[in-house]
Structure formats: C-alpha cells, structure tokens
A and B are shown apart, each in its own frame.
Chain A
Amino acid sequence: MVALNIGRAPHRVAVLPFYGTGALFFALLTVLLFVAAGELTGHHFSPHLLAIVHAAALGWGTMIIFGAAYQLLPVICERDLYSVPFAVASYVMLTVGALLLVWSFWVFEVGVLMITGGALVVVAAVLYAINTCATAARQQRVNVQQVFLVSSALWLFITVIIGLLLTINLSHTFIPRNHLDMLKLHAHAGLAGWFLQLITGVSTKLVPMFLLGKSKREWLLYTALVLQNIGLILFLADGYFNPITAKMLIYAGIVALGTLAWLIYLADVYRNRLRRKIEPLMKHTAISFLNLAVGFVLLPVAFYFSDSRWVSLYGTFLFLGWITAIILGTTFKTLPFIVWTSHYRHLTGKVIVPLPKQLYNERLIGYQFYLYLSAFVSLIIGLIADCAPVVRVALILWMILAAVYVANVAKTIFHKPMITDGNKTQ
C-alpha cells in the first residue's frame, strides 16, 4: 500500500510499561518525601535524601523519559524504532536497578545490593543508547533534535557510569577525590547532560507540533547544543582535577546561556503559532521552563550560602519544579496516542472510534494542574520558611496529586477498546 516509510508507532510493550511504572514511582516518591519530611532541609548526603533523589531521577524522570523517547524516536528520526526487545530489556534493567538503588540508599546498605542496582541501571542506559544511536543512524538527513537525543543518551551513560563507580567507592574507596565533589559531578552530568539535552531536543520537535507553530531561527538550537555541552564538559573536566570553587559558576553560566538560546527558540515558536488557545497541559510545560530558570538563579545562592536549605530548594526546583512539571504536562500528549494506535489504527475509516483525548479523564487534568501549583508553591514556602507543618501539608498535596496522576495513567493504559455502538471490538 505505502512504499515510503510512514513511521509506525513502536509496539506498545516498548512504551506502556515505562509510563505505568514511572507513575508508580512518582507515587512512591511522594510517600518517601512525606516520610522524610523532617529531613528535607538537611544535608543532601543523607540516606533518605539520596533514596528520594534516585527515586525522582531514575524511577520517575528517566523511566517516563525512556518510554516517551521510544515513542518519539520514530517521529524525530523519521524511522521505525531500532529494537523493541532492547527497549523491553532496558525497562526490566531500569526498574530493578532503580528499586535496588532506592532501597539500598534508604536503609544505607552499601555493598553488593547497591552496586548491583547501579550496574543494572548502566545496562539500561547502554541499551537505551544503542537504540537511540541506531535509530538515528539509519536516517541520512540529520536534524539537530537527533543530535540532542544522541548527546543526551551519551551523557546518561556517563552519568550512570560515574554513579556506579560512586556506589563501589562507598564500600571500597578507590576514587582519589572527595566523594561529595564527585557526587556534584555525577548529579550535574545527569541534570545538564541527560535531562536538559533530552528535553531540549524533544521539546523543540513537540512544542511546534502542539502549538502549530514554527521558528526559522534554528541557529539558536545549534547554539544551545554547543553551549550546553561546552559548559558541562568544562565543569566536569575542571571539577575532576580541581576543587569545586566559584569558578565552576562560569561553566554553569555557559550552560545557562545554552538554555536561554533554547528557550528563546521556543518563545519564537510560541509567537509564531497558529493555535491561540493554550491547553492546561501546555501550561504545565511553560511552568516547568520557568522553574528551570529559577533553578539556574538558585545555583549561586546554594553555592555561596552554607545553609543546606538552599541546596534542597535548588533540587526541589529542578526535580519537582522542572522535570515533574514537564512530565505531568506531556504524559497525556503522548501516552494516549500509543494506546489509541494499538487499539484503533486498523479501525479508522471503518467505524467511528474514540479520539485519543477520550482515553483519559480531561476533568482530572484540570485538577492535576491546580493541585500541582498548590503542592509546589506550598512546598517552596515551607522549605524557605523551614516550617515543618507547611512542608507536611504540601507533601499531602503531592500525594493527592500523585494519586490523581496514577489514576489517569491507569485509565489510559487499561482503556478497553470501544466503538460508538457500544460493542467491544475484536
């Protein structure tokens, strides 16, 4: 029928488990935050905070991003996904690895369990990198979004390798550098390499599609690519051989300029959009970019002030402000389509089928948006004021938000195929 590649969505098994498990990790994350509420403004190198950060970074952020990436790689690379079995294997490795890491950090059991968790996450990152690079390499015409996807996959690999070495170092010290300084390199390779570059690449493809907008200033994306990478490489190279000093803020500034170039590009897309009405899901995304900007502003504050509260605030803006908001915003712009495709792609044109937006509860999206705003703002106020009751109330809101999100994800994933006359399809 169709000779040219029209981009088949990958089999749902390569995508859905990530969304389902990521949603459960989000719920687990909010429970862990509530249990450790009294420790949130303490030093970041504590068992419970390490467990929470890894639940957020691996179980929540990376889990959902893997699923979304396997779904979007064919769109960005204009080719089918290289390997569904690799995607499934990376899911198993990431899930087990993240669980082992979160558990071993929480009880602070250094040794075999923690190292095994770290090793499994490395295997997951390798499988993901192979899938990403192989899918991108099959396309002759390379676009900047593909380069971002590949670079972010490589940074994820570097991040988790450093992480694995750090877990080994905890039980068998061999790294000739201060463990806490190495932890900063590990964290920022993940934040500025993996999360920032992946989100930069994917957002510059998806936001124009959702807003029906465009920008001719593609040079901004190449500027973003170069600056984000140069700043991070300089930070890691200098930070490994020298103590972490104020000089490192210059490198952060270079990454910030790269981020600014990306945000200017998105602002240009927004100005040149055809779709005037902005949905709540896109508002989530806009808020996430704002939180990222605040994160950059907080970096020197966290550096210069010895109060660990500012480091907590910095982490909160990045994990719960930036990464969580963008996931909440994009989940229901991506997940329903893979479910819809698996149920209805052969039925279109034959019978009237539901639309992807009818696979989830739109009313819950409105609740989700305002719950998120109130949970996030109250948590920030509680952390700044170091007021435990406010923090606890905020974390209850976070748990309610997670319940709403999990319910909507479950409704989408477990959608029963229906056609308009009410009969179930085959």
Chain B
Amino acid sequence: MEIKLNDPFAAELVKAQTALMQVIDPELYVNVVDLGLVYGVDFTDATKVKVTMTLSTPGCPMGEAITGGVKNALTAAFSDRETEVEVVWEPRWNYHMITDEGKAQLGLE
C-alpha cells in the first residue's frame, strides 16, 4: 500500500493504513498491510471508503475473518463513511508482495 505525499487524500490514507495495520492475518500473525493483501483504498466518494484487497488463497478459511476485520477497522476509523471491501484475485497474491517489515516479522530471509 503506497501513499504519495501529493495525494489529495494522503491524510486519510495514512489514517486508513494505521487502522489496517491492526488487522492481523491469524494464520501468519502479520498485519494485512505488511502482507501486501491491501491493493488500494479509495476516498474519492465522500460517503464511502472503498478497499480493494486480496487473500493469500481463494477459499482461505480465514477469509471471512480477515475481510470482516478490515471492514471493522475502517468503520471505526471513518465513522462518517460507509466501508466497502472488494476482494479481487487479480493480480494473484504471492510472497513477493510481503513488505520487508512483514518478511522480518515472518522470520524470512
């Protein structure tokens, strides 16, 4: 999840990222941002916060918990907006999407 300083919604994106970092993948014990599961957060609709994200695998048994966690976290952070979560399978998630911080938390090389 990349945030550009000149983005008109940079402040909201930082707030969203902070909230999403509280959502942990219960299988890997790493937050969804550092796992690279969050592809984007959109604030262009003033009444909504729309998240585009993926899961490590379709049919992931933790999928409902993870997407529910994302919705809960963003609803708490942006109580004046409705949260929408869209799960996509393209691009397919892979291990290279994990951030360096996520890799460190996983004890990867």
Contacts and interface: CB of A to CB of B under 8 A. Distances in A.
B45 interface: no
Given A1-B84, A3-B86, A337-B26, A349 B70 contact: yes
A300 interface: no
Given A349-B73, A355-B29, A274 B108 contact: yes
Interface in B25-68: 26-27, 29, 55-68
A275 B28 CA distance: 11
Size bracket of the A interface: 35 or more
Contacts of A6: 55, 58-60, 63-64, 67, 87
Given A7-B59, A349-B72, A356 B107 contact: no
A74 B59 contact: yes
A275 B108 CA distance: 5
B99 interface: no
Contacts of B13: none
Contacts, number: 117
B71 A75 contact: no
A169 B106 CA distance: 56
Given A9-B64, A337-B62, A4 B84 contact: no
Interface string A66-87: 0000011011111100000000
A276 interface: yes
B24 A355 contact: yes
B22 interface: yes
Nearest to A344: B65
Interface of B: 19, 22-24, 26-27, 29, 55-74, 76, 84-89, 95, 103, 106-109
> Nearest 5 CB-CB pairs, A to B?
A348-B69, A349-B72, A7-B59, A6-B63, A349-B69
Given A6-B55, A78-B58, 19 more contacts: A6-B63, A7-B60, A8-B61, A71-B61, A74-B59, A75-B59, A212-B108, A274-B106, A274-B109, A275-B106, A275-B108, A276-B109, A341-B64, A348-B26, A348-B65, A348-B66, A349-B68, A349-B69, A352-B22
